[in-house]
Amino acid sequence: MNLPSLIWWVWTKISSWSMVLSLLAYLVLGITGISLFSLRHSKHPRPSWLRPLHYITGWVMVGLVLLLFAIGLVSTLGIYGTLGRSQHLIAGLSVVLLVLLSAGSATQISRKRPWVRAVHVSINVALLVAFTCVLLTGWQVVQKYSTSSIGRRGNFDILGLGMRSLNGNTIQSSDAALPQFCC
């Protein structure tokens, strides 16, 4: 494996795991947010670990989304020399904006400003829609790369877990000089 293919392999692994972990963080945030809401309205005591878990997971998701955004920008500029205007770029920018707004609004929630909590929840509902758009448009990007010379003659291996290629064959590590492509 030469250095450019090693860099590409590492780059694709980081981006695919970052996306999976971002979605997992969003799921954990949804569960902990709903738990905080139900405990607050039922007047039951809140476990001491719940709120810090929600905050920490939120900041981890901010970091992962910013990492994904940087990877997308650098990859696109490196391959095409321009960002162009794609649906995936617009969806990605929307996710970045909504994640930052959500994190910012979370820092403003207080008893003096209860309306901020409703804003925070509304932003997170919009974030679900934006994440869905990123997933759908990202799949189109994966399809584009998986059939290009960058993507190993139509083979890709999401997360390096031994997935099947587009033509149905199991991907082998010796299939080509470039490592398996993943989103």
From first to last of the 183 residues of the chain, give the pLDDT tens digit.
Answer: 455 677 777 877 888 889 899 999 999 999 999 999 999 999 889 999 999 999 999 999 999 999 999 988 888 887 778 887 788 889 999 999 999 999 999 999 999 999 999 999 999 999 999 999 998 888 877 777 666 555 443 344 444 444 444 444 444 433 333 333 333
Note the pTM of the prediction, 2 decimals: 0.75
Residue 27 covered by a domain: yes
Domain range for 28:
3-160
Residue 51 covered by a domain: yes
Residue 180 covered by a domain: no
Residue 124 covered by a domain: yes
What is the tally of structural domains in the chain? 1
Query: Using H for helix, E for strand and C for coil, what is the string for the chain?
Result: CCHHHHHHHHHHHHHHHHHHHHHHHHHHHHHHHHHHHHHHHHCCCCCCCHHHHHHHHHHHHHHHHHHHHHHHHHHHHHHHCCCCCCHHHHHHHHHHHHHHHHHHHHCCCCCCCCHHHHHHHHHHHHHHHHHHHHHHHHHHHHHHHHCCCCCCCCCECHHHCCCECCCCCECCCCCCCCCCECC
Residue 43 covered by a domain: yes
